[in-house]
Amino acid sequence: MSVQSSYQKAFFFAAQKHHISENWVNGTLDVPYAVHIGNVAMEMIFAHHQSPTFDLNFAVQLALLHDVLEDTSCEETEMEERFGTAVVEGVKALTKNESLEKSLRMADSLERILVSPPEVGMVKLADRITNLQPPPSHWTSEKIKSYHSEAELILNTLGHLNAALSERMKEQMAVYQLFF
């Protein structure tokens, strides 16, 4: 299947699932979640343009589907039927384990990402790049600084996977510092 066809199939599926769950871009009530997942996929496409050393088809599917299991009522079996085991395993690695104490969730996810194909970690970088936008107005200065610190952890852990995404993350982190 072409990258474009994979993109369209995954984008439609994810957008529908997030719409049913009434998910919005964090801090908004009027920006559909599809904007976020489209931006994560866009980061992957541009990274591939600069360094075509990874499986773009796989990466785009992961980018578009990365929050479906965590944020919607979609079952793993439904995703696996449509996108296969490798995609589901990648999405599961990107999904925070809600049964863990909140302070342990990112470290747990990063451990699972590190033993996954490199595209999984690259999607995590692209996701955080996309999320380093102006923070929601209700976030405290402490929360904003904590989010930036978490971005540093992600970059330090996964930055070696792709130079283009690593540089882009550094740029976004520098801009994000202006918010605290």
To the nearest whole number, what is the mean pLDDT of the chain? 93
Please give the Cα distance from 1 to 126 (Å, whole number): 23
* CATH of residue 153: 1.10.3210.10
pTM of the model: 0.93
pLDDT at 28: 60
CA angle 81, 82, 84 (to 5 degrees): 70
> Are 110 and 100 within 8 A, CB to CB?
no
pLDDT in tens, 153-175: 999 999 999 999 999 999 999 99
pLDDT at 32: 81
Q: Which long-range contacts (CB under 8 A, 24 or more apart) does 145-153 make?
A: 145/180, 147/176, 148/173, 148/176, 148/177, 148/180, 150/106, 151/176, 153/106, 153/110
Number of domains, the chain: 1
pLDDT in tens, 94-117: 999 999 999 999 999 999 999 999
Residue 18 has pLDDT above 80, yes or no: no
How far is the CA of 107 from the CAs of 41, 42, 110, 131, 162, in angstroms?
A: 24, 26, 5, 18, 20
Please give the Cα distance from 24 to 20 (Å, whole number): 11
- Give the lowest-confidence range in 17-21, 34-38, 128-132: 17-21
Domain interval for residue 123: 3-179
pLDDT at 34: 87
The length of the chain in residues reads 180
Closest CA to 64 of 89, 43, 93: 43
Average pLDDT on 75-79 reads: 97
CA angle 138, 142, 146 (to 5 degrees): 105
